[in-house]
Amino acid sequence: MNYSIKENVLTISKSDITLSLVILKEDLFHFFEKKKKSHTITKTRRAKHINIDDLGNKIKIFTSLYDIYIEDDFSISIYDGKTKEIVVKDNKYVDTKEKVISNEQKLLLEKEGHSFSNTLTYSYIINKEIQKNEAFYGLGEKTGYFNKINYQYVNWNTDDPSAHVDNYEALYQSCPFYIGKHKHTYGLFFDDTFKTIFDMGTDLKNIRIKGTLGSLDYYFIGGKNITDVRKKFVDLVGVQTMPSKFMLGNMQSRWSYMNKDEVLNVVNKYEESDIPLDVIFLDIDYMDNFKVFTYNNETFNDLPSFIKLLNSKGVRVVPIIDPGVKVEKDYFMYEEGMKNGYFAKDGKTTYVGEVWPGDSVFPAFTNKEVRLWWGKHVKDLMDLGISGIWNDMNEPSSFKGPLPDSLTFKGDNGKTLGNLEAHNIYAHYMSKATFDAILEHTNKRPFVITRAAYAGTQKYSTTWTGDNQSIWEHLRLAVPELLNMGLSGQSLVATDIGGFGGHTNKELLIRWAEFGALSPICRNHSAAGTRSQEPYTFDDETTSIYRKHMKLRYSLLPYMYDCFYNEQFDKVPPMRPLLLKYPNDVETFNINYEYMFGPNLLVAPVLNEGETKKMVYFPDTFYDYYTKEKYTKGYKVVDAPLDKLPLFVLKNSIIPTYKSSNHIKESYDTISLEVFGNLGSYTTMYDDGETLDLSKNDLINFHVKNNVFSVTYKRYSSDTHYKKVNLLYREKAYEFELDGTNQTFTL
């Protein structure tokens, strides 16, 4: 085989094909055809020394953990270094043509007047052999079930308003990353922003990853288990931003609250109904003629004073900003952008698509100058007193249909990107522009929520799953969809509670709110023309059950906040499949409808109409959160009346809570702890809820065992501190004063 090694880069060439390999770590390998700059990986890593054995018709590269064999036909197989078992294996590498129909079918189609090629050519096709009992996870925001095996998905950010059913191939986001789990666990990340197709084994034998125009460029990520692989993937593309505390509060939205009175009415009704609320969203109608960075001077006149009023009621405001800039003479965004050539071009002219304001042009966020310009307007908007920005329609979506392939976007360093390369990272860069501006302006954790994304967008933004429908099918879809997004790095995620399209109904809204209460972001949103979806617009029972579950969420705030804080370090998503904690329990491999929130809570939401009991799989011994009933390992049927979210706590753990309030508070002086079982240990973080400095907090460990309760400060650097701790242990309540030093109490 013809290969060379230069500066620790192994390059193999044969006819017109070149494949390079860089060993970045003992379990992180980069394979690529051409060296290029990643749009998402920001850290450069040094190539490690390559250990190689030349075996004649193939070569073996080895690290302390894996053996990599590359054959003459460029196929790559990776084996576990110790057991010598297959981790992931190519069938054949150089195979860029695919037969889609037979010659007979082609002739028939031609007879009917269609012209059809019976082969499609891709820029690469990778065939990976499916191993025995292999399951696939990840792939970001996709429909279907938790285990992605046997489905095909397309990475091409798409705004298709039809219902997201399980064989829907593309949603709004692209994350060309999957995790394979059989006896060994690994991840493959294809850092290809062009359209890619991930056929996860429709032929039952191979997964086929197909590039349409991009060059082959992928990372093999090895790991002991899924948690480990996810951690390494996140280390590569970036961890989810740490939320401010208020971002874990309840949020209400609608397309649209048409004027200030409607917004105020919602906030007042929430207040009267005694339902917690922290954020209200302003959808497109707050703007003047849908022109971004403006507001309607009649319906939302003196917006800053109005925002102040809402803030004084404990509610923050987050407006929507779409990328499409209205084509209108003398409109500052249009004029400034045109003057400087900031919009996407078709040939020499600025491309005009159509979004809410009518004819619209699309900023080239792929360029730094454009991002800074946009960011300047973001800062001006922040000055109105808003608390974050909602970025939508940024696939980008246009009513004139997909943006033409021929469009060009200004890139960085004098480069130009064609639409096919820029499309999947459009929202990624829009999020970056927004995030960077808010960060610079406020010096606090920015709240950005985006609809479209690429792998790694979580370092700039949170996200939601777009336009779902008010149907039970979509409530069921929500669980595996959010779980796989979590495994793909996106852990601050939401679904529109109650469903976006179509009229919701009482029972569906209640069950969705129960699930929403234990989801990472909790936001009720619905489309124009649908019935009101705020809880109090139903009946007393709905209001009361909604209240109960939002209060449950607010009481669990210290626990949820700790989960997001811990993710910054351990890289485990707060909402996580059972599989993460129980990787050897085969029952957990295909669980679609229950999950864990953090290390100790098991959530089993009811997702079917009329259901008042639920079959729950317990991977260990758990206690009912409310009744303390004990469940041992196995499948059990639990009671789930309409007003109850089935929620369980792992034995021998501690759950921290706050006295529930209707708005997230600036500071809390009391923390309550409940011990489930005979002992427990729990470390909590306490800070002001918004500081960027993740060491400016108190880190306190609480430990209970054999009737001894100890409090150990691992750090004491917050501005305010807990003063009191309430402890519930073996059905007895205790109260202790905290004095900021390590203390031990006998119970």
CB of 466 to ligand GLC, least distance (A): 5
Q: Computed from CA positions of residues 424, 427, 433, 436, in that sequence, does the dihedral angle turn out positive or negative? A: negative
Number of residues that bind ligand GLC (CB under 6 A): 9
State which of residues 238, 357, 466, 599 lies at the interface with ligand GLC (CB under 6 A): 466
Residue 534 in contact with ligand GLC, rule: CB under 6 A = no
- Which two three-digit tokens encode residue 732? 């007895």
Does residue 387 have a cis peptide bond before it, meaning omega lies within 30 degrees of 0? no
Does residue 718 have a cis peptide bond before it, meaning omega lies within 30 degrees of 0? no
CB of 295 to ligand GLC, least distance (A): 15
Is 203 assigned a catalytic role? no
The upper half-sphere exposure of residue 334, i.e. CA atoms within 13 Å in the direction of its Cβ, equals 18
Closest CA to 579 of 154, 230, 83: 230
> How do the residues of the chain divide into helix, strand and coil, expressed in percent and rounded to 5?
25, 30, 45
CB of 660 to ligand GLC, least distance (A): 28
To the nearest 10 degrees (0 to 180), the angle between helices 368-382 and 332-340 is 160
Residue 698 in contact with ligand GLC, rule: CB under 6 A = no
State which of residues 318, 320, 333, 616 lies at the interface with ligand GLC (CB under 6 A): 320
Of 147 and 256, the one with the shorter C-beta distance to ligand GLC is: 256
Residue 430 in contact with ligand GLC, rule: CB under 6 A = no
Of 179 and 321, the one with the shorter C-beta distance to ligand GLC is: 321
Q: Which residue is nearest to ligand GLC (CB)?
A: 255
CB of 490 to ligand GLC, least distance (A): 17
CA distance 450 to 457: 9
Of 15 and 162, the one with the shorter C-beta distance to ligand GLC is: 162
Phi, psi angles (nearest 5°) of residue 354: -140, 125
Of 278 and 392, the one with the shorter C-beta distance to ligand GLC is: 392
CB of 504 to ligand GLC, least distance (A): 15
Of 394 and 408, the one with the shorter C-beta distance to ligand GLC is: 394
Helix, strand, or coil here: 478?
A: helix
Of 87 and 284, the one with the shorter C-beta distance to ligand GLC is: 284
Is 467 assigned a catalytic role? yes
Residue 567 in contact with ligand GLC, rule: CB under 6 A = no
The one catalytic residue in 27, 285, 395, 496 is 395
Is 395 assigned a catalytic role? yes
Listed in sequence order, the residues at least 6 apart from 634 whose beta carbon sits closer than 8 Å to its beta carbon are: 617, 618
Residue 467 in contact with ligand GLC, rule: CB under 6 A = yes
DSSP state of 75: -
> In DSSP terms, which residues pair with 361 in a beta bridge?
325
Q: Would you give the binding string for ligand GLC spanning residues 235-274, x where CB under 6 A is met?
A: --------------------x-------------------
Residue 283 in contact with ligand GLC, rule: CB under 6 A = yes
DSSP state of 150: T
CB of 320 to ligand GLC, least distance (A): 6
To the nearest 10 degrees (0 to 180), the angle between helices 506-517 and 472-487 is 20
Residue 284 in contact with ligand GLC, rule: CB under 6 A = yes
Residue 321 in contact with ligand GLC, rule: CB under 6 A = no
Of 255 and 625, the one with the shorter C-beta distance to ligand GLC is: 255
Listed in sequence order, the residues at least 6 apart from 396 whose beta carbon sits closer than 8 Å to its beta carbon are: 323, 324, 353, 362, 403, 423, 426, 427, 452
Does residue 480 have a cis peptide bond before it, meaning omega lies within 30 degrees of 0? no
- Which two three-digit tokens encode residue 217? 């460029």
The one catalytic residue in 199, 392, 567, 674 is 392
Listed in sequence order, the residues at least 6 apart from 729 whose beta carbon sits closer than 8 Å to its beta carbon are: 674, 675, 704, 709, 747
Of 227 and 450, the one with the shorter C-beta distance to ligand GLC is: 450
Cβ atoms of 207 and 136 closer than 8 Å? yes
Residue 514 in contact with ligand GLC, rule: CB under 6 A = no
Residue 451 in contact with ligand GLC, rule: CB under 6 A = yes
- Which two three-digit tokens encode residue 152? 């095909």
Residue 278 in contact with ligand GLC, rule: CB under 6 A = no
CA distance 664 to 311: 12
CA distance 173 to 153: 11
The one catalytic residue in 95, 141, 285, 467 is 467
Of 465 and 588, the one with the shorter C-beta distance to ligand GLC is: 465
CB of 155 to ligand GLC, least distance (A): 19
State which of residues 90, 217, 392, 481 lies at the interface with ligand GLC (CB under 6 A): 392
CB of 354 to ligand GLC, least distance (A): 14
Listed in sequence order, the residues at least 6 apart from 519 whose beta carbon sits closer than 8 Å to its beta carbon are: 478, 482, 493, 494, 495, 575
CB of 508 to ligand GLC, least distance (A): 18
CA distance 21 to 12: 9
Which positions lie near ligand GLC, rule CB under 6 A?
Answer: 255, 283-284, 320, 392, 451, 466-467, 525
Annotated active-site positions, please?
392, 395, 467
